[in-house]
Structure 1
Amino acid sequence: MKFPHRPIDSADDLPDDRPPSKSQVKRDMLALQELGEQLIALPAHTIRQADLPEALRDAVLEAQRITAHGGRKRQTLYVGKLMRSTDADAVRAVLAAATQDDRASVARMHALERWRDHLLASDAAQTEFLDKYPGTDAQQLRQLVRGARAEVGVDKPPRLTRQLFQFLKAAIAAHDTPSHPADNEPLPSF
């Protein structure tokens, strides 16, 4: 007796109940291992503040402490093992936040360097800076700029240039941070 011909279902019609292949499992584990290595590369204070499971946090801090190559490699593998039971999205969020903080910090440093270079290049820049950041000590700013300009022509260490940079950093930080917690609140509309 002949069986009636039944069409073979296409692969799209079949449910995919198969477990992932060994290669896919290995790729997933290696991706988690790389996440763990990125976590180890973060500063310790960022790890301590991060919302991570205690075992993972301790393992990452221990990996940062270990200097021997073999021991560090074993600890990195252990961090990768712990990553398998941890929510990878939470770890990615920690890494993204740390990267965002780093980018913001670098951007602030570049802005400070631009201000310093602008102040050293132009006399009008001092007035511009004082207008933008009121409350800055104008006399100290002028003294530092004058001294830093004098250092540029002579083969001296850039001590006053560094002091000018630190002064600008403090002046901008003092202007950007509110002096009173209520300063952040919006004004009432009447």
Structure 2
Amino acid sequence: MQESDHQEDSGPSKSQRKRDMHALQELGEELVKLSKERLAKIAIDDNLREAVRDAQRIPGRSEALRRQMQYIGKLMRDADPTPIKAALDAVKGVSRAETARMHRLERLRERLIEDEKVIGEIATQYPGADLQQLRQMRRNAIREKELNRPPRAFREIYQALRELDLGGGRRDDDEYVMPDEDEADE
């Protein structure tokens, strides 16, 4: 048997396996940083979910936390990282779909501020919307802009639309979408 044949049979190098394990542990660290609500939305194995919850309860940068993170990395080896990574990207607003969703919601907010008739479209798309509250926020946003004040009501409109969108009250999922809180503050 030649040396090149032996290397092909042995699979990835030790260095590559180590890099892969570190990447899985980093993915696990991202899971630990999530809120309980966001973690609940990600489809992961029950053992991994419990290990992540345990890590979230360990205070500070202790040796116990380091060991728990290594354990999470070990559990991650048995999990398919692709859907976990996609879910984390969606949570962080990295995915194209999330980005497009944020932009559509931002356009809806802009249109609402420009024209109060857009309230009718919102009422159709989100039957549970508090239209009176949206009208008041719209008036406040216009006033803030005229007085060169910080865009508090402008952001509140986005948050209200986001809550409506996340609440599942939409009738047409392709029409309007809400951006993440981080993006709305820009």
Same fold (TM over 0.5): yes
Give the letter for the 2:170 counterpart.
D
Count of residue pairs brought into register by the alignment: 163
Deviation of residue 19 (structure 1)?
6.4
Larger radius of gyration: 1
Work out the CA distance in 2 between the residues paired with 1:36 and 1:170. 28
Change (3 A) 1:126 1:75: same
TM-score (norm 1): 0.59
Residue in 2 aligned with 1:42? 34
Take 1:98 and 1:32, find their aligned partners in 2: how far apart are those partners? 13
Q: For residues 61-106 of structure 1, what are the alpha-carbon distances to aligned partners after superposition, in whole Å with 9 as ceiling and x for unaligned? A: 111222310232222112112233x13x2x4313313423553556
**CA-to-aligned-CA distance 1:126-145 (integer Å, 9 cap, x gap):** 23x14634557877655543
Q: Distance in 2 between matches of 1:20 and 1:105?
A: 34
Shift in alpha-carbon separation, 1:176–1:80, aligned structure 2, 3 A = same
Provide the identity percentage: 39
3-state DSSP class of the match of 1:126? coil
RMSD: 4.0
Q: 2-side partners of 1:113 and 1:139: how far apart?
A: 20
More displaced stretch, 17-26 vs 65-74: 17-26
1:39–1:95: 8 Å Cα contact kept in structure 2?
no
Task: Identify if the C-alpha distance between structure 1 residues 168 and 9 changes in structure 2 by more than 3 Å, giving closer, same or farther.
Answer: closer
* Residues 36 and 79, structure 1, Cα contact 8 Å, conserved in 2: yes
Q: Which runs of 5+ in 2 are unaligned?
A: 173-186
2:170: which partner in 1? 176
Separation in structure 1 between the aligned mates of residue 12 and residue 111 of structure 2, nearest angstrom? 59
Which of 17-26 and 64-73 deviates more? 17-26
Structure 1's 107 and 72: CA in aligned 2 closer, same or farther, altered over 3 A?
farther
Relative CO higher for 1 or 2, CA cutoff 8 Å, sep ≥ 6? 2
Asked if structure 2 preserves the Cα contact closer than 8 Å seen for 1:33 and 1:79, the reply is yes
Q: Which runs of 4+ in 1 moved over 6 A?
A: 136-140, 170-175
The equivalent of 1:126 in structure 2 is: 116
Does structure 1 residue 58 correspond to structure 2 residue 50?
A: yes
In 1, Cα distance between the equivalents of 2:137 and 2:39? 38
The alpha-carbon deviation at position 60 of structure 1 amounts to 0.8
Q: How does 1:14-163 map to 2 (within 5 A)?
A: 16-18=8-10, 21-70=13-62, 71-84=64-77, 86-87=78-79, 89=80, 91-100=81-90, 102-103=92-93, 107-120=100-113, 122=114, 125-127=115-117, 129-130=118-119, 132-135=121-124, 142-154=135-147, 160-162=153-155
In structure 1, list runs of 5 or more residues that go unmatched.
1-7, 179-190
